[in-house]
Structure 1
Amino acid sequence: MERYELIAPCHFGLEAVLKKEVVDLGYEVTEVENGRVTFIGDAEAICRANIFLRTAERVLLKVGSFKAVTFDELFEATRAIPWEKYLPKDGKCWVKKASSISSKLFSPSDIQRIMKKAIARHMQEYYDLDRMPETGNEYPLRVFFYKDQVTVGIDTSGESLHKRGYRQMTSKAPITETLAAALILLTPWKADRILVDPFCGSGTFPIEAAMIAANMAPGMNRSFLSESWTNLIPKKCWYDAIDEATEMVDDTVKVDIQGYDIDGEVIKAARENAERAGVDHMIHFQERPVAQLSHPKKYGFIITNPPYGERIEEKKNLPALYKTIGERFKALDSWSMYLITAYEDAERYIGRKADKNRKIYNGMMKTYYYQFMGPKPPRRKTGDQVEA
């Protein structure tokens, strides 16, 4: 089976998490850049990456890379790509998105127009056509310009991979599924430890945690654009990847995952989302304010995305809110807390400096992932097993 370069974009600051996921899937990573990981894989890898990667935004099939500082250079370099290797005669191919950083060519509409013309010219010449029929499957391109170096990839995913298919109802400031999964994977949390999200909104953190605990592949209940690309990916590759994902699920695992929110309607939506994800039996959702956050057991985890005052009128409430978070966390003996927020005074009002602080871009918004580490639980023996 032919091997390709595949590109998986992700949130800026979370490349190391995605790299580990790709390596764990068994693929060779060739490059890690800001916001993306490149690796080598065949048609089967395209299916498995789309179905199994929790933290990638999409999977792109890299078809070319070149330097272009003029539109003439862009046209000729695009035209030189062997498009017939990737597109059927009737395929519809266009630049869906073009981004440009520190490059001479920066107008998305001009880039889209020039590249579309170059692809059509190549295909017309190769197939001896007067015009491209474009009546077949879609092959949308994503193009990155960085310091005049152009990278061209065909989007195999279609809708972004954060759309797992379970979240129809969202709260006011939802965190994406891919970002939530990455933030959980950055912690030492495991299925045998308690996890509480006191600002759970539509339930993304608890649901992603439950899916991780149950070894449930995030993409097993959705479709992907490249499923129809039988010229590149045999149907059997998709069937095999889904069979592999299905066999790995263990939703009987015992967990203590809880989600609280002050808004009862939001909690109702979170329960419905969890049911669609197939993990509603693994999560306890409850209408409860953060001031009532408590738990009788030790060594638990808080992983949460509290409000950070996107609107001016909300900002005045933040000192009191973060002070309450700090007080409730302090009362939870031996717990750890992982909190993502754009509120720059978070540590001040929580009343403790974070052990670690990671800068992460949530879209265009700069946020901080504050990590307050609790002690590790003592190792204990249960039968023949030693647990941490």
Structure 2
Amino acid sequence: MTTYDAGQVRAYLGEVFRGCSGQLALAHQGRGLRHTPAGLQPTIAWTEDGTYSGPREAAVKVRELYARQQPSMYVRMTTVHAGVTSGTRGVEADTAEVVTLWADIDIAGPGHKTGEPLPPDLTSALKVVDALPEPTLVVHSGGGIYPLWLLETPLVVTGPEVLAEAKTLSMAWQLLVQRISQRYGWTYGTGVGDLARVLRVAGTVNPKVPDNPRPCRILHDGGPRYMPETLDAWVREQGPDLVAEAKAASRPRSTAWGTGQWAALEQVEDEYSPGGVLSRLCPVSAVLEPVGWALLSVDQRGVEYWRRPSDGDYWTSPYSAKWNVNGVPVLVVWSESAGLPTGSGQKLTILRLLAHLHCDGDLSRATRGVLAAAAREALAPEWAADLPGDVLDEIRECCITSYCGTGAAA
């Protein structure tokens, strides 16, 4: 019988997050039912369990969730700042410390959606690892392997430049794993290198195949730890183009956006999070007009001027808010009668705007509403279900499929 191993959970979290001062972020998947036109259908729902002050506290939470029949446990592979919104794992910009590089190598068998060729067994999957520096430890997830290259000491993210360098190195590492896999004729998805990535916790259970739950266990440990510059130099030696390709892969998908706009938002929302997709694709009119706001004009720079709804009072200014100043998709509200945060220091993205309009400012609740609408849940809030269909489709692809598919399911 496949069981929980508390010793491995503690050892794994303690080793991976040794010396960290940031918060650990946990998430779990639970099976449930949702209403569809064809009746009740099984679904897998993600729950972001929040952040914890260290490996010991996180291990206690993992054990508590397992006792509540929530065996599919994940931990974010970077730490986050203490101010991350409660009940979320945070986004890439919330990264406090980078502790490891990793790979997520699927092994052919039940539980994988891809029809592409995968390593047929553990021995084959380890061939990919053998072409890389020796990992510090290797975890068998039940459906694949996670080799981890732990750092000597946590890399503290002191600003945007350090964050960008860490993102580039992580993506370049994934591209390198992909190239090695392709030499053997196997596919490898590079979408698992984002700094908000979660992987299964060793010592827990992989219940993806309901009638065959499999253990997630440490296969090998005791390997060397590395300095970030050592791994960076090794990547560059293997392929001078890897870093350039990694930087290109990290650019926004929308060609209508330049790096300046994303730089202005990078402390707000990751571009592939629900909020990031909303910022990229959702017109502010889809949010403001349903609640009575009116577009007054658009100037030659593309700045939109909006007026709040009136409850019989008088408008004392020609406009109440401006959208898209300097090409940055945020709303700045000047009217104190609008019922929204005001002033130049309150830059409202689409997601934050939805949170204030419909969720009493609760960003986590707004995110859950948007995800429910993207997943076509029958009980999704009406304001979220009324968002443009193409926006919800993109959120489903970026934020639901990627986490419930191969990206987090091995």
TM-score (norm 2): 0.24
Q: TM-score, normalised by structure 1?
A: 0.25
